[in-house]
Structure 1
């Protein structure tokens, strides 16, 4: 779902522009911990606000956060599909949008349970484009679940410093759990894994030189900390793991026009080649079909997996460009011997050190009361 870390080492030094210029510039990567959780919503009770914030920590392509919540009454909401956050160039059928909303639903259920609520779900959407996706009612249950919500707050997409050691069998068993028919590990020494390495590079090259997709990427990059703080979504230098002098250069001297240059595109492809050369292999997540219900459940399945990996010092990096380019997607299943519908392609590997989460999230905003139309944007 992300095609991110696209810049290697940017030339230039602070000394080249002078210390005064540096001190008056955008000096530091903005990360989630820097944000004040502004909340002027008076409609929601504290536990409702916390549940929805935890739900919003789900991953999404380009960190678009393509969901909204419509307030009906206390603990009774509709989870919606925000058309303004779609990615039509790489996700024209909103397949990835539904997967992201599924991850949001899984976080919501875990968070609600930790506060002692059970979720009663009612599927509303029949297509990926429907605005109303899921109705949920929260009701008190005898005791809260024992799910550790710090797994939600500490979840992090990592792109760098993967070790090439194969995943241990006990870790594979733990991650796959009771869903072996949907979760498949392809070790880095398998021909299937090598095929995905090659095709990921091919797909990224195709996508990088497909102008609508590259422009879409440019539109979701928050180059400056000022823009990152304003929008609290999209791709920041911290989220793209561009740090130090490189991050400073990007924040202060790059804009959307740079993304469309040949040099920028080639740097991105070079980084993809470096990334796929170092990993324990790939994890594929499949579904039985492409229905709304199946996509939402697959998004939930992916999030359940994502919330397990940190405790085992395992990273996963969604890289689904193969599925987004028709020429690579059409030959994927037969080339790796999987008949089910592949929905996620996740690069995986152990880490020596697990970084803290940095991707930004929008705040809860209360809107004036209109019956059955009070929106809470997360």
Structure 2
């Protein structure tokens, strides 16, 4: 779940530019999916899927496709046209987003008294990259033993906040403990709240952002997925949403282009790196998550656990933002990837799956969503 939405904040000193939320404009409403999801749906599968598409996912690619055979089945695929080959070459982070999707699907099914029987990788686990084989087969069955999960109520309230967090009011230790406690065994989750540990991760993360922004392929991938202004945001309803009067004015007169955003040596990129360092310094704590290995099954489980952690944080009035840059596995990030793993006691065989900043922040708008129809295969 990317932090590149801050890329052009520096152009107005962090004040007049709003980043990452929805906007009004011509075309479909990019926030419509967040309001009363599933309203009017009679098929419980479609109702549950309307909640699942609100899951967090990297670069807001929403890489989810489903078939609906029969009356109670869902066959779930990763959309291979929506991968991130430059920043996520092994598709690990996309797989995490698929896990988050399955967790929200399960929560929604429970709300209707349904048990979601999920079989992962029914045609085999794809390696080294995702392919056309399904991620999961899901069957929904009525089950009187199934109880609603309180976290369901947080699905439409959960949003990723890339704002500066309040350093004067850090998360309580008890709240951090509640967030990490929802990760099930054999996953391991923990919080970092001591000053030295937080400072070390801030330093590594700031260097990681700079490395990503000065790596041509990675920077250009983000630039291609940037949606500038309400009209583009409404037309695409995915990717990196940038809006605000100043930004839109710059784009209108040609001073802001995808070419300059994707240029590692541009003034905008250098300024963004400086501004980002200031924003990330306003981080009071981190949480992290890892599993016993790096299998696709562990990646799915980690995505599901992260979704529960974020929903729990939302219920506690806390904000979260995945800190994905130095966990990316492209060659130019390798040194910082190793440094991050070592800092938190992870290993190549059992690497970190998630590193997330956490704290209190002002409310943010929901990220755009494409709507349920775009995820169901004909």
TM-score interval for Structure 1 and Structure 2 normalised by the shorter chain:
0.7 to 0.9
**Structure 1 stretches of 5 or more lacking a match?**
13-27, 368-373
Matched residues in 2 for 1:57 and 1:314: separation?
A: 18
Residue pair 1:99, 1:298 contacting (<8 A) in 2 also: yes
The equivalent of 1:365 in structure 2 is: 373
**Which residue number corresponds to residue 204 of structure 1?**
209
- How far apart in 2 are the matches of 1:219 and 1:160? 23
Aligned to 1:354: 363
2:160 is paired with a residue of what secondary structure?
Answer: coil
Contact 2:2–2:323 under 8 Å retained in 1: yes
SS at structure 1 position matched to 2:240: coil
Q: What is the TM-score with the length of structure 1 in the denominator? A: 0.83
Pick aligned residue for 1:328 from 332, 336, 341? 336
How far apart are the structure 2 equivalents of 1:115 and 1:148? 14
> In terms of mean alpha carbon deviation, does 299-308 or 175-184 score higher?
175-184
Alignment partners' CA distance in 2, 1:222 and 1:141: 43
Q: Displacement of 1:148 after TM fit?
A: 5.0
In the TM superposition, what are the counterparts of 1:252-331 in structure 2 within 5 Å? 252-253=252-253, 254-261=256-263, 262-324=266-328, 325-331=333-339
After superposition, the C-alpha distances for 1:7-40 in whole angstroms (9 at most, x for unaligned) are 235359xxxxxxxxxxxxxxx93499765569xx
Which residue of the partner structure matches residue 16 of structure 2?
none
Is the contact between residue 200 and residue 321 of structure 1 (CA under 8 Å) also seen in structure 2? yes
> Following the alignment from structure 1 to structure 2, what is the Cα–Cα distance between the partners of residues 10 and 366?
34
Corresponding residue number in structure 2 for 1:224: 229
Instruction: Give yes or no for contact 1:66–1:81 (8 Å, CA) kept in 2.
Output: yes
Q: 2:153 corresponds to which residue?
A: 150
Matches of 1:30 and 1:255 in 2, distance apart? 21
> Scaled by the length of structure 2, what TM-score is found?
0.83
- Separation in structure 1 between the aligned mates of residue 216 and residue 354 of structure 2, nearest angstrom: 24
Cα distance, 1:308–1:250 mapped onto 2, change above 3 Å: farther
Tell whether the 8 Å contact from 1:188 to 1:282 is kept in structure 2 after alignment.
Answer: no
Q: What 5-or-longer segments of structure 2 have no aligned partner?
A: 14-21
Alpha-carbon distance, 1:146 to partner: 4.2
Q: Give the paired residue count.
A: 343
Q: CA 1:34–1:216 in structure 2 vs 1: closer, same or farther (change >3 Å)?
A: closer
Residue 135 of structure 1 corresponds to which residue in structure 2? 137
Question: By how many angstroms is 1:298 displaced?
Answer: 0.4
Q: Kindly state the Cα deviation for residue 170 of structure 1 after the two structures are TM-superposed.
A: 1.4
| Per-residue CA distance 1:139-174 (angstroms, 9 max, x = gap) | 112265143533111110001130124321211221
